[in-house]
Chains A and B, each alone.
Chain A
Amino acid sequence: MWTFIHKLGSPPWFFRFSGTLVRWLLPITVILLLVGSIWGLLVAPPDFRQGNSYRIIYIHVPAAVVALAGYYVMAFAGAVSLIWRIKMADVTMRAAAPVGAVLTAIALVTGAIWGKPTWGTWWVWDARITSMLILLFLYLGVVALFEAYENKTAAARACAVLSLVGMVNIPIIYKSVDWWYSLHQPASIKFTGESAIDSSMLYPLLLMIVAFYCLFVVTLLLNMRAELVWSYRESGWLRQLVGDS
């Protein structure tokens, strides 16, 4: 176990390991996404109130779930980078930020599209959508801070500090937005939360969530590999590896 973690910290070893991992995980992700989409969009029964428009949850919910988890991945990598000064943790953190931001944006856009048939308007200040929007701001802050520093090692450290503070704050933000919404909730667009979802709709949703987690990991790994190629463009081990394959 410890040797494995130790090895993860070594860029050449990680580069080779992640290459193998991606080779296996990428087809699995594609298959999961395909099966989940077909199941959710074509096979699952329509909702008795929302008809077919609810089917966007098969994109919206997984994106939202993984976007939030992505922030924790980023902040955890940031903590590791601050405490143990491991280069690979820096790389993980900076690779996770854009992926998470894109997932959050997907969740927001699909949420808005879903809102049109459901509430009759593109944008509603619903608790969950508002929280997602603030999560997007948190992600954008990390990305912008990283870009603003010229010295990229310092940038990674600054982003680690920021994302850690953000991580502590996220539960407070989510809770406060929840309270805020329940105090102001207008009666006309009352949204009845999760009513019990039928298993015929739930299983494809769970499958899609798993698929999005895999997608996150694959994109993260590819992003990290690209980052490594750029950082070690001068070093011998990379040339050797690239030359081999």
Chain B
Amino acid sequence: MSSDRPLLSLRTVFLRQFLRHGRSIMTSPADVANPLLFFFMVITLFPLGLGPDPARLATLAPGILWVVALLASLMVSAKLFASDFEDGSLEQLALAPYPLAVTALAEVSAHWLATGFLLALVSPLFGLMLGLPEGGLLTLLVSLLLGTICLTIIGALGSALTVNIRRGGLLLSLLIIPLNVPVLIFGTTAVREAVLGGNPESWLALLGGLALGSLVVVPLAIGAALRVSLDS
């Protein structure tokens, strides 16, 4: 019977899962807007806490913007696989004759488009609000575009490891914050270099390398972690 039917190509599987997950995300626009609002509000806290001195804010801006973007990404990643796990979709994905790494990567990609990508797109606006010199805005955008890929995929690993643990949220931060240290360092350094008129390209290249590397390696770990979560 059906066992003779040829399997779909991995590209098709990826695309279908990507569309399904993307469509599912689009049905709740509030979930897409919340991290952006979080980003916006926490940025507002810094001038309130540090004082409105534009010169001081401008020197701190690269670090503030990056740290807040990291936290926003951390918060949304925590729930990446939660609904799939609760509604049983994950069981079905695990039974599929396709690698879990591929289907998980499809979901992570859709998730990144709805969170990290948007965060990066709006970041220059917040950069302006903090008085980040205009020379740094483009670098901020590019560094966050590349950086949020790493942040999202590492966050997905954290989510996959903790999805079956009650009260896993705090644990998730403990697991993935240390892994995100290089991303933060490369990202902030790139923006600072751009502001100082230096050469941000090498730092952006490092970020790009990290993004590519994590795209290759981490999905395998995510697949293994999801299986563990199903098993436990």
Residues in chain A within 8 A of chain B (CB atoms): 82, 134, 137-138, 140-141, 144-145, 148-151, 154-155, 157-158, 161-162, 164-166, 168-169, 172-173, 175-177, 179-180, 183
Contact = CB atoms under 8 A, between A and B. Distances in A.
Contacts of A144: 171, 174-175
B7 interface: no
A244 B120 CA distance: 67
A140 B173 CA distance: 12
Given A154-B228, A172-B210, A166 B179 contact: yes
B225 A161 contact: yes
Count class of interface residues, chain B: 20 to 34
Interface stretch (B90-98, B102-110, B157-165): B157-165
B185 A158 contact: no
B182 interface: yes
A165 B224 CA distance: 12
A152 to B, nearest CB: 9
Contacts of A172: 182, 210
B181 interface: yes
A157 B228 contact: yes
Contacts, number: 80
B41 to A, nearest CB: 27
B207 to A, nearest CB: 11
Contacts of A180: 185, 189
Nearest to A143: B174
Given A82-B224, A141-B175, A165-B221, A177 B181 contact: yes
A165 B157 CA distance: 9
B179 A148 contact: no
Nearest to A155: B232
Which 5 residue pairs across A and B have the least CB separation, nearest first?
A: A154-B232, A176-B182, A137-B178, A151-B232, A176-B185
A184 to B, nearest CB: 9
Contact of B175 (A162, A173, A177): A162
Nearest to A136: B178
Contacts of B221: 161, 164-165
Interface in B191-232: 210, 217-218, 221, 224-225, 228-229, 231-232
A161 B228 contact: yes
A158 B225 CA distance: 6
Contacts of A169: 179, 182
B177 interface: yes
A162 B232 CA distance: 16
Contacts of B231: 151, 154, 157
B174 A137 contact: yes
Nearest to B175: A141
Given A172-B182, A172-B210, A177-B185, A150 B232 contact: yes
Contacts of A175: 182
Given A141-B178, A154-B232, A179-B185, A161 B165 contact: no
A168 B217 contact: yes
Contacts of A177: 181, 185
B189 A183 contact: yes
Contacts of A165: 157, 179, 217-218, 221
Nearest to A159: B161
B161 A158 contact: yes
B170 to A, nearest CB: 9
A165 B156 CA distance: 13
A182 to B, nearest CB: 11
B168 interface: yes
A165 B181 CA distance: 14
A176 B171 contact: no
Nearest to B160: A161
Contact of B181 (A148, A149, A176): A176
